[in-house]
Amino acid sequence: MIAIRWKTIRRLLISSGLLAFPLCVTAQEALKVLPATCVPEPSEELCHIVLQINFPRLLDDPSCLYAEENKLLICFPARSLIEYESQLSIRETTHFELRYESGETIAVGLTEFADIVKTTRRRRGIGWTIL
């Protein structure tokens, strides 16, 4: 049986907008991030994905896409389509933020890392045989 930890469920609820998330208060729109959830192979600790990020409208000013607060991924000129695609290996939930060059946040999004824990039933010492 596979069980997903509460931490993962909480993150999924946050990413779907069912729970309040502090970064979403400042942003008016959301980035479209695919895949929204990344599940690693059972034998690996990293999750390998082809990440796709886009924003649904054109912006009048230049903007930049960041991962995890201040890691710059790419910048876009004014009035251009905001689309980004890259191969990525993650080991935890990754937040993305689209900002104007002034630093003002436009939109946020995330890729959820699903922590899967295999659970096994505990066997009792008593077998099925009758003494």
Mean pLDDT of 96-102: 92
Residue among 44, 6, 42, 23 at smallest CA distance from 110: 23
Q: What is the pLDDT of residues 26-48, one digit of tens each?
A: 445 789 999 998 888 878 888 88
pLDDT for the residue 24: 37
Confidence tier at 117 by pLDDT (50, 70, 90): low
- Contact between 42 and 120 under an 8 Å Cβ cutoff? The reply is no
Q: Which domains does the chain have, with CATH numbers?
A: 2-118 (2.60.40.10)
For 68: left if phi > 0, alpha if psi spans -120 to 50, otherwise beta; the answer is left
- Contact between 69 and 34 under an 8 Å Cβ cutoff? The reply is no
Confidence tier at 22 by pLDDT (50, 70, 90): very low
Residue 91 pLDDT > 50 = yes
Q: Whole-model pTM above 0.85?
A: no
Confidence tier at 12 by pLDDT (50, 70, 90): low
| Interior/surface letters 84-110, b for 16+ CB within 10 angstroms, e for the rest | beeebebeebbbbbbbeeeeebbbbbb
